[in-house]
């Protein structure tokens, strides 16, 4: 495959030895691959070096800032973002090359087939899950500096690709709860930084509201047991982030 515009693919890692090889195999077609690593200790970087990737070492400073480091370090303007639990399909690689022969947009959403406990989740907000553009011109897009669930600013036109990225974020419930612990801590800190409060009402009402959103409004019930477990985990995450925010508030005010 050839294209008039070369592509830099990038991913963020911290102790992703279990998955990084599959990620990098899926982007062998890219003209450059960057791994922004937060000083992994499990062999992630050693595996990445086998694929002739460029390694950027940076202590964790928030996902938005880490992503911008990849943009700043890239040799090419067109970027393809792939998380450490995602895979680019061969069909998507062909579509990207074809599209970049004459781009119609400055950034593109890519539909994701996300798997939970090995099951492709078709509901509960998990499909097609257009979170943020994964293919884009870095001269037109910049990530904002949030610690987690980072947003972006796009100065240009937004389009959609048809082919899929595959995502395998939570292979087991243990992996899910470990990730939710980390993300709830980061989200609580993000809320604290913007002076958001953990009111009693949020502690009481937000977790069941999240469950109902995932399970009923977004039809998670159509995925059966997977849907109810997923909705319950999101409710748990919602409770954790507000409980941790409350804890941060108490510490800020010197409460025992």
Report the alpha-carbon distance of residue 178 to residue 188 in Å, rounded.
Answer: 16
- pTM score, whole prediction: 0.90
Domain limit, last residue, from 152, 169, 186: 169
Number of H helices, E strands in the chain: 7, 13
Q: Assess if residue 2 is contained within a domain.
A: no
Is residue 64 located within the same domain as residue 145? yes
Neighbours of 5 (CB within 10 A): 16
Domain identity same for 83 and 120: yes
Total domain count for the chain?
A: 2
Asked if residue 230 and residue 151 are part of one domain, the reply reads no
State the residue range of the domain holding 13. 7-169
Residue 234: half-sphere exposure toward Cβ, Cα within 13 Å: 21
Last residue of a domain, one of 138, 169, 200: 169
127 inside domain: yes
| pLDDT tens per residue across span 73-126 | 999 999 999 999 999 999 999 999 999 999 999 999 999 999 999 999 999 999
Q: Which of 169, 190, 211 is the last residue of a domain?
A: 169
> In this structure, are 241 and 151 located in the same domain?
no
Clarify whether residues 103 and 190 are in a common domain.
no
Residue 189 to residue 247: CA distance in whole angstroms: 10
**For position 145, which CATH number holds?**
3.90.550.10
Q: What's the pLDDT score for residue 251?
A: 85
Do residues 49 and 112 share a domain?
yes
- Please indicate, yes or no, whether residues 20 and 94 belong to a single structural domain of this protein: yes
> What distance in Å separates the CA atoms of residue 220 and residue 205, rounded to the nearest whole number?
19
* Tokens 């941060």, residue located: 248
pLDDT at 255: 62
* C-alpha–C-alpha distance, residues 79 and 70, integer Å: 9
Q: What is the pLDDT of residues 143-188, one digit of tens each?
A: 998 888 899 999 999 999 999 999 999 999 999 999 999 999 999 9
């Amino acid at each position: 495959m050839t294209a008039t515009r070369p592509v830099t693919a990038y991913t963020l890692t911290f102790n992703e030895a279990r998955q990084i090889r599959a990620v990098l195999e899926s982007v062998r077609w890219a003209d450059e691959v960057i791994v922004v690593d937060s000083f992994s200790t499990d062999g992630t970087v050693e595996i990445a070096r086998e694929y002739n990737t460029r390694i950027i070492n940076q202590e964790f400073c928030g996902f938005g800032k880490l992503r911008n480091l990849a943009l700043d370090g890239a040799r090419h303007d067109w970027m393809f973002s792939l998380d450490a639990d995602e895979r680019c399909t061969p069909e998507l690689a062909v579509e990207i090359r074809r599209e970049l022969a004459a781009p119609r947009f400055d950034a593109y959403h890519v539909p994701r087939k996300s798997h939970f406990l090995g099951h492709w989740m078709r509901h509960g907000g998990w499909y097609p899950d257009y979170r943020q553009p994964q293919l884009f011109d870095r001269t037109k897009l910049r990530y904002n500096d949030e610690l987690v669930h980072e947003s972006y600013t796009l100065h240009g036109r937004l389009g959609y690709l048809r082919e899929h990225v595959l995502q395998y974020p939570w292979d087991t419930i243990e992996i899910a709860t470990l990730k939710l612990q980390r993300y709830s801590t980061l989200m609580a800190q993000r809320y604290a930084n913007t002076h958001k409060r953990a009111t009693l009402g949020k502690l009481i009402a937000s977790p069941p509201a999240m469950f109902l959103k995932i399970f009923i409004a977004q039809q998670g019930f159509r995925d059966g047991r997977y849907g109810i477990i997923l909705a319950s985990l999101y409710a748990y995450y919602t409770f954790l982030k507000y409980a941790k925010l409350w804890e941060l508030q108490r510490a800020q005010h010197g409460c025992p």
